[in-house]
């Protein structure tokens, strides 16, 4: 499940590689179906139960909010990890590492890709992890939490892509969600593409960015990993690295985005 994101972002002039393959579409559909099963099973279990109380709706609302928060936090931790550690040769994650790094040189390339190209790897992970939960769980609130969290996670790269898209090109509902702060917008993400490239890693809503950045938690973990394993994060090598924007890609300074 790893190929064209790397090719596409390493070679942003290759327009054909922005198009999804049938395999990528199948994984994307599988992930979406898995999430829909979580949500549908939750609703069906509640419908079959004794009359639902306001307490149940409160639990579902809270579960959805926690799932949304967890997805944003997870997107930040994952983004920080692949930006800073490993290489394109790293098993399993190599293509993702290459892709995230290429995104720093060609940020606008992410806006040109089919959703399935962006999301098929996360969709595969969602399918493998969430499908057994769907089968085994008998807790409708937990299934609702899993469905919302997995859904936000599956679309985290699409939300990231929308944050890089000029507002006039966005569907109006997406622009409204960005304006309301429910999903990531450029103003919450732009610092990630500017020196020292150490902040604003979260890509669902960006809610966790301020907490993670002001607590310096990632910096503390980087120091700990260096002391224990002797591994340096890539952000320490700035400015002699490939974090910088390629001259052909000026989206990082495009005022049209916000």
Name the residues that contact Zn ion, by CB under 5 A.
83
Smallest separation, CB 205 to Zn ion (Å):
14
- Residues 236, 222, 98: CA angle, nearest 5 degrees: 65
CA pair distance 127, 116, nearest whole angstrom: 14
Q: Which is nearer to Zn ion, 83 or 98 (CB)?
A: 83
Q: Which is nearer to Zn ion, 41 or 193 (CB)?
A: 193
Which alpha helices (H) appear in the chain, and where do they start and end?
4-10, 22-48, 54-84, 94-105, 115-136, 140-154, 156-163, 172-179, 186-189, 207-215, 217-229
Smallest separation, CB 104 to Zn ion (Å):
6
Q: Which is nearer to Zn ion, 41 or 160 (CB)?
A: 160
Smallest separation, CB 186 to Zn ion (Å):
9
Smallest separation, CB 218 to Zn ion (Å):
12
Provide the phi-psi class of 139: left if phi over 0, else alpha when psi is between -120 and 50, else beta.
Answer: beta
Q: Which is nearer to Zn ion, 83 or 222 (CB)?
A: 83
Beta carbons within 10 angstroms of residue 38's beta carbon: 26
| CB closest to Zn ion, residue no | 83
């Amino acid at each position: 499940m790893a190929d064209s994101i790397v090719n596409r972002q390493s070679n942003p002039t290759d327009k054909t590689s922005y198009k999804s393959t049938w395999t990528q579409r199948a994984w994307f559909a599988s992930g979406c179906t898995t999430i829909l099963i979580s949500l549908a099973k939750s609703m069906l279990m509640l419908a079959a139960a004794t009359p639902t109380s306001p307490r149940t709706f409160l639990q579902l609302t809270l579960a959805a909010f926690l799932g949304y928060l967890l997805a944003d936090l997870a997107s930040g931790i994952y983004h920080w990890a692949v930006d800073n550690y490993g290489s394109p040769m790293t098993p399993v994650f190599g293509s993702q590492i290459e892709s995230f790094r290429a995104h720093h040189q060609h940020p606008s390339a992410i806006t040109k890709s089919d959703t399935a190209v962006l999301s098929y790897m996360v969709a595969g992970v969602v399918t493998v992890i969430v499908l057994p939960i769907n089968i085994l769980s008998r807790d409708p609130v937990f299934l609702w939490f899993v469905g919302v969290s997995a859904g936000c996670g599956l679309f985290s790269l699409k939300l990231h892509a929308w944050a890089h898209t000029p507002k006039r090109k966005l569907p109006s509902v997406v622009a409204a969600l960005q304006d309301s702060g429910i999903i990531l917008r450029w103003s919450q993400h732009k610092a990630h593409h500017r020196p020292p490239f150490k902040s604003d890693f979260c890509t669902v809503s960006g809610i966790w960015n301020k907490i993670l950045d002001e607590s310096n938690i990632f910096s503390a973990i980087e120091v700990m990993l260096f002391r224990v394993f002797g591994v340096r994060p890539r952000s320490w090598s700035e400015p002699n690295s490939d974090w910088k924007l390629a001259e052909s890609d000026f989206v990082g300074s495009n005022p049209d985005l916000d």
